[in-house]
Structure 1
Amino acid sequence: MRFGIFFLVLAYMLSQFYRAFLAVLAPVLKTDVGAQPDDLAQASGLWFLAFALMQLPVGWALDKIGPRRTASVLLAIGGAGGAVVFAMAQTPLHINIAMALIGIGCSPVLMASYYIFARSFSPAIFATLASSILGAGILGNIASSLPLTWASQAFGWRETLYVLAGVTLLVSVAMFVFIKDPEALADEHVSKGSVLDLLKMPALWLIFPMMFVNYAAVAGIRGLWIGPYLGDVYGADAGTIGTAALVMSLAMVVGNFAYGPLDRIFGTRKWIVVIGNLGGAAAVFTLLLYPSHGIWVSVALMAAIGLFGSSFAVLIAHARSFFPPHLTGRGVTLLNLFGIGGAGIMQSLSGRVHGAALSGATDPAQPYQALFVFFGTATLIGVFFYMFSQDRTD
């Protein structure tokens, strides 16, 4: 089990890498492939949407055939295959296809881990385990910052993607070998119930809106807009953008590990999420008010967004406390559908917001101020609905 979880962490590092690396490659993709910021927003959104659409079939597969085959097969075909397509890309359309494939390949990895945690460990430590794998996995986010900048400059971005495709394939094979599926439930329990039973639970409906927007600002800024923003507003080069992305990624690592034990310390999940996301919204609106006050001020505020916006695992733990055991797989993937689907939709919409604000803008910061209004307002709307939810801990 330890080796299986180790390779799931490696797979999740790859997932974090793939969802965030476009921001760092934005300048070279513009030159070599003709991909504009709005094209990359669409490609990034397709990663999230493909990932989200896979959550319901992945949830069924986790409950029916287990995490070993579900995670390893999809990562091999979609993750490694999509990375090869990306390395061969000649147009923005090829980037779109590659990102959709990679999203499909990465879709089961985190939920396979959560499924194992929910079925094989004490419910009281679920949030801590879930946050820990998020924190460790975000090392992949770090790899998509300055290390990717160095590798693409030293070896070429296409060659780097081919190597990543090979690494992804090796990790998928290791998962197939080392992951052990939790002991099966009795057939009579497995055969009863579906995702519709989860949707009938009133307690979940006030969690869904927060889940929908919780990850949107972090994913949008770190995964896409940090590069164009720093380049357009401050004239930052690739090395500076890579460093800024690294700082924000490190803040996300700290945030995930910090959130993990808080539900046991304070005896609440709901108010941890509320306070944390209000802090994230405050950082977004501060960036709105001071969009060009200094590059490292902006980087510090984006790091705060990453720190406070890392409550994803606590939200999953909150919702998981309402799931019956035989619907654990479908439950965690349903929540992930809202989380990643929301990030994908917001990512795609953010490209339109940026494009609309760009028309007639007299200051390079104006289009990004529109983005900050978009992300900050969405977070506050999610918090508003979530404040009426039923708190529950294990």
Structure 2
Amino acid sequence: MKRGLVLLLLAYILSQFYRAFLAVLAPDLLADLALTPADLSFASGIWFIAFAAMQIPVGLALDRLGPRRTAAVLLGAAGGGGAALFATAQAGWQIAVAMALIGVGCAPVLMASYYIFARVYRPAVFATLASVLVGVGSLGNIAASVPLSLAADAVGWRGAMWALTAVTVATAIGCWAFVRDPEAVTGPTRGSLLDVLRIPAVWFVAPMLLVNYAPAAGLRGLWAGPYVAEFYGAALVGPVTLAMGTAMIVGNFAYGPLDRLFGTRKWVVIIGNLFGAVACAVLWLDPVPPLVATIALFAAIAAFGSSYAMTMAHGRAFFPAHLMGRGVTFLNLCSIGGVGIMQFVTGPLFEGAGGGAAGYRVLFATFALALLAGCAIYLFAPDSRD
């Protein structure tokens, strides 16, 4: 089981990389393929929508087939194929299709790990294990910053993508070889997504997941690149995105033990996301502050926006064993789908505001208001303490 989890961790590092790398390649793609920031926003959104759309079938596959086959096949075929298509792309639509395929390939890897955690380990340590996995997996965010920038400078963005294709396929083969499925469920084994939706707490936890990751993922995965290049210079894109990636790692590790420390998951999530909303609101009021303030605020959004694993632990506590795969993947659908929806929404809002500082003001306002709305609904969720 340990070797399998290491391979799934490597796969999740790739998943984190793929959701963030467009921000670094954006200047090259804009120049080489004559794309616009809105085109890249659409492509980034497609990754998250494809990822989210796969969560329901992935949940069914986890419960029926197990994590080994589910993760290995999708990562190798769709993830590797999408990376290869990206490396050969000549037009914007090919970039969008490639991102959709990569999203499909990455869809099962984190949920396969969470499924194993929920089925094999004690419920009380789920939040810590989940946060550690996401924290270490966030090294993909680091790789998708300065290291990717250096690789693209050395071998070109196409060469870098071919290397990633090889790594993706090799990781999928490793998952097939080493991941082990948990023992079969005893007792009830049937159920459906409708049974998940009949659990009242889901309707209060899901809206929080819909928004809590969207600002951090949206900025780190796309908007930070064009924003920094426009106002501070393209040379600073790598360092700023590196700071955000590092903050995400710190945030995930910091959130991990807080439920056991304070005896609550709900209030840890609420307070953290309110701080994230404040950081977005400061940028709403002053969309182009001095560089040091921008880095600090972007890092704060990234760190406080890392409450995903804690919120998943909150929701997981309400699912019986035979619905665990479908339950956690439904919650993940809300999280990733929320990022995709936000990417689709923010592109037109940015252009409708005329771009530039005015466009980014609207962007930060949207992030702040979404977080506040999510917290308002989440207030009514029952807490969970394993």
TM > 0.5: yes
Per the alignment, residue 47 of structure 1 pairs with 47
- Which letter maps to 2:236? T
Partner deviation per Cα, 1:157-179 (whole Å, 9 max, x = no partner): 00110010000000000011000
| CA shift for structure 1 position 55 | 0.1
Mapping of 1:168-317 within 5 angstroms?
A: 168-186=168-186, 189-190=188-189, 192-234=190-232, 236-237=233-234, 239-317=235-313
- Which letter maps to 2:217? A
Per the alignment, residue 14 of structure 2 pairs with 14
Per the alignment, residue 384 of structure 2 pairs with 392
Sequence identity percentage: 55
Per the alignment, residue 139 of structure 1 pairs with 139
| CA shift for structure 1 position 233 | 2.2
Q: Secondary structure of the equivalent of 1:380? A: helix
- Which letter maps to 2:378? Y
Mapping of 1:57-76 within 5 angstroms?
A: 57-76=57-76
Aligned residue pairs: how many?
386
1:321 aligns with one of 317, 320, 323: 317
- Which letter maps to 2:340? G
Asked if 1:335 is matched to 2:334, the reply is no
| CA shift for structure 1 position 189 | 1.6
2:373 aligns with one of 381, 388, 392: 381
Q: Secondary structure of the equivalent of 2:153? A: helix
| CA shift for structure 1 position 293 | 2.0
Partner deviation per Cα, 1:23-76 (whole Å, 9 max, x = no partner): 111110011111210000000000000000000000000000000000000000
- Which letter maps to 2:351? G
Distance 2:57 2:312 in 1: 18
Distance 1:125 1:251 in 2: 23
- Which letter maps to 1:65? L
Distance 2:371 2:346 in 1: 14
Per the alignment, residue 32 of structure 1 pairs with 32
User: Are the counterparts in 1 of residues 286 and 361 from structure 2 also a CA contact under 8 Å?
Assistant: no
Per the alignment, residue 360 of structure 2 pairs with 368
- Which letter maps to 2:116? I
- Which letter maps to 1:25? L
Asked if 1:89 is matched to 2:89, the reply is yes
Per the alignment, residue 121 of structure 1 pairs with 121
Distance 2:341 2:75 in 1: 23
Q: Which runs of 4+ in 1 moved over 3 A?
A: none
RMSD (Å), alpha carbons? 0.8
Partner deviation per Cα, 1:85-120 (whole Å, 9 max, x = no partner): 000010110100000000000000000000000000
Q: Secondary structure of the equivalent of 1:202? A: coil
Partner deviation per Cα, 1:343-378 (whole Å, 9 max, x = no partner): 1011111111111011xx6xx311101100011101
Q: Which runs of 5+ in 1 are unaligned?
A: none
| CA shift for structure 1 position 261 | 0.5
Q: Secondary structure of the equivalent of 1:292? A: coil
Q: Secondary structure of the equivalent of 2:201? A: helix
| CA shift for structure 1 position 290 | 2.4
Distance 1:311 1:16 in 2: 15
Once the two structures are overlaid, the 10-residue window that deviates more, 199-208 or 93-102, is: 199-208
Partner deviation per Cα, 1:206-244 (whole Å, 9 max, x = no partner): 11111110111011111000011112222x12x310110
